[in-house]
Amino acid sequence: MSREPEGARVDLHLHSTASDGTEAPASVVRRAADAGLAGVALADHDTVGGLEEAAREASRLGLRFLAGSELSANEPGRSVHLLAYGFDPEDEGLRAYLEGYREERVRRAREIVRRLRELGVDLPYEEVERRAVGGNPTRAHIGRALVEEGLVKDERTAFGRYLSRGRPAFVEKRPSPPADVIARAHAAGGVVLVAHPGREHSMEDIERWLGEGLDGVEVLHPSHDEAMRARLGALVRDRGLLAGGGSDWHGRGDMHEAVPGSQDVPLTWMDAIEERSGTSRVSTRD
């Protein structure tokens, strides 16, 4: 169990340049430390690429660190984001799965750029790749490129006009059922919580995914109002589920407008995730 002071807080949902954040993994951890947090989980999209750097910085600063990744699943007509925690980042099956997802993200980003070009929006793919800084290219990178190239005024416009589901440049991800993603994370020793469920999923959806092995839900998220937080909190208590939460911070210009530590997530939630998962530590080899 934790030896930190009672009332210590953490942030279990942060992004870095390993996926679509704007700050390096070590910088993200320093932001968490500056916010007075006791622990942190980096949860970049479909990658473990930033975990070692983040874990090393957390160790240097005396913060607890939990391996995380926000894994992409989908069902017909919608995306489902699943937060995996406490897995072994070196698990070969997980790494092979994530490499396949990287290839899929490149394919998707190239197709989005092609569709933009057909719409008369001349955005070179190289500009997207440059902003991805060697990580997985995402719609966020495309949105930033559109803004920085002067093709739209801001990221909200980029998504509202071109990149959101139902917009003309949107491209669906490959089929990736939640049950398959949950099973992959479990095989690597992790646990899985559905991310920001109040934003787009019903309680019936959550119940179905629980039947497929889901371990818990993200209770505290900037998009959740007090009523949704109360409903999700009651579900966690009634069903003995894991609870998670965090700012979902992506860095400068984040559309969520929430900063690290803003969601008041108790360290005890991080303790529970670590206790239930098989592997919670990340190597910080030199």
- Percent of the chain, pLDDT > 70? 93
Q: Output the CATH code of domain 98-163.
A: 1.10.150
Q: Which pLDDT value is given to residue 93?
A: 94
In contact, 247 and 13? CB cutoff 8 Å? yes
Which helix H or strand E contains 75, and what residues bound it?
strand 64-75
Alpha carbons within 13 A on the beta-carbon side of 64: 24
Alpha carbons within 13 A on the beta-carbon side of 174: 15
Q: In this predicted model, what pLDDT tens digit does every residue of 143-159 receive, in sequence order?
A: 999 999 999 999 999 99
The span from the CA of 171 to the CA of 98, in Å, is 19
Q: In this predicted model, what pLDDT tens digit does every residue of 178-210 receive, in sequence order?
A: 999 999 999 999 999 999 999 889 999 999 999
What percent of the chain is helix, strand and coil (3-state, nearest 5)? 45, 15, 40
Q: In this predicted model, what pLDDT tens digit does every residue of 42-77 receive, in sequence order?
A: 999 999 999 999 999 999 999 999 999 999 999 988
Predicted confidence (pLDDT) at residue 94 exceeds the cutoff of 80: yes
Distances (CA, A) of 104 to 40, 53, 95, 139: 28, 25, 14, 13
